[in-house]
Structure formats: C-alpha cells, structure tokens
Amino acid sequence: MLVVHGISLPPGAFGGGEIEALFTNSLDWDADPYFGEIRGLQVSAHLLVRRDGEVVQFVPFNERAWHAGESRFHGRARCNDFSIGIELEGEDETPYTDAQYECLVAIVAAIEQAYPDISNRNIVGHSDIAPGRKTDPGPAFDWLRLYDGLS
C-alpha cells in the first residue's frame, strides 16, 4: 500500500532543510524549541515531495522505511513492513500545492505500474492507519484531486 503523509518542520514552516535532516538522522535538536519535543526521533520515508514539486528519495521502494509507526491496515499491523511512505511538505490545514499534486499523481502511477499489488484501493493517509494518533495529511489534502489525476 501507499501511505500519504504531511510534514513540516518546525510545524508550519516550509522550505528549509529540517525534514531532510530528520530523515537522515542529522537534525540539530537545539535549532528550534519544537525539536526538543521530538528529540531522538528516528523516522524515515521513501519519498518527500516539497512544496515546489521537488522529489527527494530517502529509502529505496523495496526496503522498509520507518514512516507509519504503530499502525494497522485491513487487520494487518506494522504497516512499515508492507507499505511505501510518501511525505508531502505541508500541514493538515494548509492546502497542498499544484506542483505537489502533479508530482504525486506521477509518482503513484509509476509505483502502481512497478508494483501491481498496489492500486488506488490501497492508497491511504497516515490518519487512516493510525487513527487517534495521527491526523495527516489532514483535511487540506484533496483526495478527489489525487484520484481524478489517476483516472
């Protein structure tokens, strides 16, 4: 399956190198007061789609990334074991950009072609597999726009 996430570091800030630093375990924990709340967090994702549409890959698709945390999909736990995580630079209440939707549609189409077991029916938000714990990509993410682009 594909898991769509939203991330900004610090919350609400876009365009810096903090997300990449977090995913490569090189974040300066003292650079922002918020980072103290997540100090020591070790996470990763397969891809990051920045606000301008730039795509950064951190983990090959055939390897496990640590993006889902405690999670469950259709009765299966440990979603990191069987999913690809795509982070969109953003936050729950801020609309994602045209460039991000265009890139995401192209990425999903390519992944679905390369991995036939992945289809539109198993594209989920982080909030779908970790309800009550996660809210991303949030209400600002336009699922219909993604699906319309894939049809």
- Residues classed as catalytic: 87
One-letter amino acid for residue 123 of the chain: I
DSSP structural state of residue 82: G
How far apart (Å, rounded) are the C-alpha atoms in residues 90 and 42?
A: 20
Outline where 33-142 has alpha helix (H): 98-114, 126-129
